[in-house]
Structure 1
Amino acid sequence: MTRKPLLLASSSPYRKALLDRLGLPFTCASPDIDESPEPGESGESLATRLSENKARALADRYPNHWIIGSDQVACLPDGSVLSKPGNHQRATNQLRQSSGHRVLFLTGLALLDADSGKLESLCEPYNVRFRDLTDEEIDAYLLHEKPYDCAGSFKMEGLGITLFDALEGRDPNSLVGLPLIALNDMLRRWGRNPLLENRPEPERS
C-alpha cells in the first residue's frame, strides 16, 4: 500500500501530544459529528462507532490521506456511560459515582484510507480503580484541573493520578485518549513503521 499523509481527526491537544510521540508528520482537523449514543448501544459499540465516524467525516475534505479517529467513553459497573461532563457540577457528580469503584474506559480507534475506504478499527479497554474520595477532595481536584472536556472528569497525565488506587490495562495512553500501541500495530500493518522512520542517519566517518 502506498504511504499517505496522516491526519488526526481531532482538535484535542491531549491526542495531538500523544500522536507527536510516534515522531511521524501529521496534521489535525476537527470532525463535526453527532456523538449521541444510539438506543441500547453498548459502551464498546459507541466508542468504536464514533471513532470510525470521526475518520469518515473528514474523508471528502482530505483525499489521499490516512485518517486517524479516536473517541472514548467511560462505563460504571452498572453499565451506565460517563461522557464529557462539560461543567463543574456534572464533573462532581461523575467523580462521586466513580468513588470507590472500578470504572472501565473504552477507547475506540480507527484508521481509514480516505481514497479506498479501507478501514481498520478496534476498542481498547482500560480499567481504573478509584479510591474512596471525599467531597472536599473532589472539589479541590476539579478546581485545580477543570477536566470538564474529559470523559470521566479527570486528566490521568496530571493530578488525576491522585484519584486512583490502581490502573489496569495494556496501554495507559488509551486512558488519555489515543491507544498508541494499537495505532503503532495498525500503521505497521499498513506499511509504516514509526521506529524505522525515526532511525537516525548513520554518522559519516
Structure 2
Amino acid sequence: MLPTSPAWAQDSPEPYTLPPLPYPYDALEPYIDAETMELHHDKHHAAYVKTLNRALAPYRQWQQLPIEDLLRHIGQLPAAIQTTVRNHGGGHANHSLFWQSMSPAGGGEPTGALADDIAATFGSFSEFQDQFQTAGLRQFGSGWVWLVLTPENRLKIYTTPNQDSPLMRGDIPLLGNDLWEHAYYLTYRNRRDQYLEAWWQVVNWPWLGDRYAQYRSR
C-alpha cells in the first residue's frame, strides 16, 4: 500500500535537504583534507539530494517518508524511479551517517555495550578493525564497507556497491566508510589501504555507541 501524503507534504518543494557538516572542512586534517571534505559534502552529497528530490517530484505520496523508510521500501517504489532512489537516496542516507560518524576528537576505541559486542562477535577490537579493513580493500570499485546490526541483533561486516544502503537489506547501518575515490584520492591517491588505516583516527565512537544502544534496545 502506498503511503498517504499529509497536507504539509503537498507544499514541500524539497522534502530532502543537505545536512550541514557538524564541523569545519579542515577539522579532520591531517587524516581527511579540507578540500576533499568541501567537495565531498558541497558537491557530491548535494548532487545526491538534488537528484533525489527531482526524481520524487511527481510522486508526492512518497515524499513524506524519512530517507531510511524510503530505502527500506525501495521495492515498492514505482519502477521508473527505483534506480534513481537507490543511487541518490542511498547516497544521501549513506553520507548523512558518514559525517556524523566522524569527529575531530575521534579515534581510540568504543566503550560500553558496543565494545563488548564487537569483542564477542569478532574476537577483539583489533580483529574487528582487521576484518573491516580487509573487506574495504577487497571491494572492487566504488562502494562502502559497513558494520551493521541485523534484525536478529547481530553485528556483521559487509560491503555494498555504489551507493547501496544496508537499509535495503533490512539491516541498520551503524558505521560505514566511503570507498569511492572522491573520498580519499586528493590525499591518498590510489592507496586505499592508507586511507582505511588513517580513517580510524576520526571515528566518533561515543556517537556510534549511542546509536548502537538506541537500535539495540529495539
| Shorter-chain TM-score tier | under 0.3
Tell me the TM-score normalized by structure 1: 0.26
More strand as a share of residues: 1
Instruction: Output the TM-score relative to the length of structure 2.
Output: 0.25
Larger fraction in helix: 2
